[in-house]
Amino acid sequence: MKNKFINRVIFIIVLSVLWEGTVRSGFFPKAERLFPSLVDIFGALAEVTLSGELFGLMGYSLYLICIGLLIGLVLALVLSILAISSQTLASFVDTAVTIMHPLPGIALLPLAILWFGIGREPIVFIIVHAILWPMILNILAGFRSIPALYREVGQNIGLSGPRLAISIMVPAAFPYLLAGFKIGWARAWRALIAAEMIFGTSGTQGGLGWFIYQQRYFINISGVFAALIVIMVIGILIEDILFGFIERKTVKRWGMTA
C-alpha cells in the first residue's frame, strides 16, 4: 500500500518533469498553445478552485453520477433477483443483456433527446444504460457462484423467497456485487463526462464534462487540462480510497474473494 503510493508519486513527478521539459525546450513551435506549461495548468486549476466554480462543477457531476449509480444498482439487483427466481424471466433478462450490453451509450443519444429533451434526465439515462448491463452480468455470475450449502442453511432456519435472497444470496455474492459496482462506477464516470459534453451546454448548471467543452470553445487549453486533472484525481480517489475502504470493511474482513 505504502509502496504503491510512493511508486505513483515518483511516476507522476517523472511525467511532470518530462512534460515541462518538452514545453520549455521550445522543441515544438507553438507548443504552449496545445501543451500548456504546468504553471498555466495549475494556474487555471487554482483559478477555478478559488472562485468556487470547481466545486459547483464537481458537485453537479457527482450528483448526476450518484443518481445514475443508484438507479442502475437497484434496477440491476431487481432484474437479477427476478432472473434467479424464474426460468422464464431468466431468459428474458439474458436476452435483454445480450442485446443491450454491446450498444454504446452514445448511440442512444438521439433517443434520449427525443424521450427526455435536454438536461439532466438524458445524462442519467446514459449512465444507467452504461452500468446496468455489466452489473447484471456480474450479479448473476455472483448468484450462480453461491455454494448450495449457504442457501440450504438459510432454508433450514426458515428463510425463503425474497428474505432468502436478501439475507443469504446478496451477501454471499457480495464479492461479485462489489466487482460489478466497480466496473459500473468506471463506466458511469466515462459515460457522464461524454454525455455532459453534449447535453450540459444548454442549462445554466453544468458539470466537469460541460466545463471541458466550454474551455475548448474559448480555446482555453490550460482550462481543459485542469479539468482533465480533476477528473483523473476523482477517479483515482474513488477507486483506490473509497473502494479500497469498502473492500477492507467487507470482503477482506470476511475472508471472501471473488
Contact residues toward other proteins (CB under 8 A) are 147, 149-150, 152-153, 155-159, 163, 167-168, 171-172, 174, 250, 253-256
| CB closer to other proteins, 48 vs 81 | 81
| CB closer to other proteins, 176 vs 210 | 176
Angle at 84 between CA 124 and CA 137, to 5 degrees: 45
- With the CA atoms of 102, 126, 107 and 204 taken in that order, what torsion angle do they form, in degrees rounded to the nearest 10? -160
Among 147, 152, 104, 151, residue whose Cα is nearest residue 129: 104
Rounded to a whole number of angstroms, the minimum distance from the CB of residue 42 to other proteins is 45
Determine the Cα–Cα distance for residues 188 and 207; give it in Å rounded to an integer: 14
Rounded to a whole number of angstroms, the minimum distance from the CB of residue 103 to other proteins is 35
Determine the Cα–Cα distance for residues 57 and 50; give it in Å rounded to an integer: 13
| CB closer to other proteins, 174 vs 211 | 174
| CB closer to other proteins, 110 vs 158 | 158
Determine the Cα–Cα distance for residues 234 and 28; give it in Å rounded to an integer: 31
Q: Cell digits for 33?
A: 498553445
| CB closer to other proteins, 24 vs 249 | 249
Alpha helices in 86-173 (DSSP H): 87-100, 109-116, 120-145, 148-156, 161-164, 170-172
Tallying the residues shown for the chain, one arrives at 258
| CB closer to other proteins, 102 vs 255 | 255
Tally Cβ neighbours within 10 Å of residue 63. 13
Rounded to a whole number of angstroms, the minimum distance from the CB of residue 44 to other proteins is 46
| CB closer to other proteins, 114 vs 149 | 149
Alpha helices in 26-119 (DSSP H): 31-34, 38-50, 53-85, 87-100, 109-116
